[in-house]
Amino acid sequence: MAAGAIVRLVGRLGEEKATKALKVLVSAKRAPVVVHEILASAAVLFDAKFGWAHSAADLVTVVRSKSIDQWRRQVAAHSDVDHRMQLWKAVAQGWVRAGNRMAA
């Protein structure tokens, strides 16, 4: 599944941006790299709707601050992750909120 997400990401954003999104997860020591974090990383870095006003290095710090499961549980507790909101979007929003708190 992650390989397919990477192929789609490269097709949508181009190789340079997709690589930057993946490098965030590698730098955050994510293993295995999961689809919802790949999509969340790209969204935070490149989709203005998420309002990320920090660097990729700041995103690494935020992602690394919790395990994959801890982020999943946190966003499930604070948002309605079901058919109305996909997990990747909830994780991206959680990372943005954490980054904004970190910068304040």
- pLDDT above 70 coverage of the chain, percent: 92
What is the structure's pLDDT at 85? 64
* pLDDT score of 56: 97
Task: Tally the C-alpha atoms within 13 A of residue 33's C-alpha that lie toward its C-beta.
Answer: 19
Largest CA distance in the chain: 37
DSSP one-letter string for 21-51:
HHHHHHHTT-SS--HHHHHHHHHHHH-GGG-
Average pLDDT across the chain, whole number: 91
| pLDDT surpassing 70 at residue 78 | yes
pTM of the model: 0.90
46-70: per-residue pLDDT in tens? 999 999 999 999 999 999 999 999 9
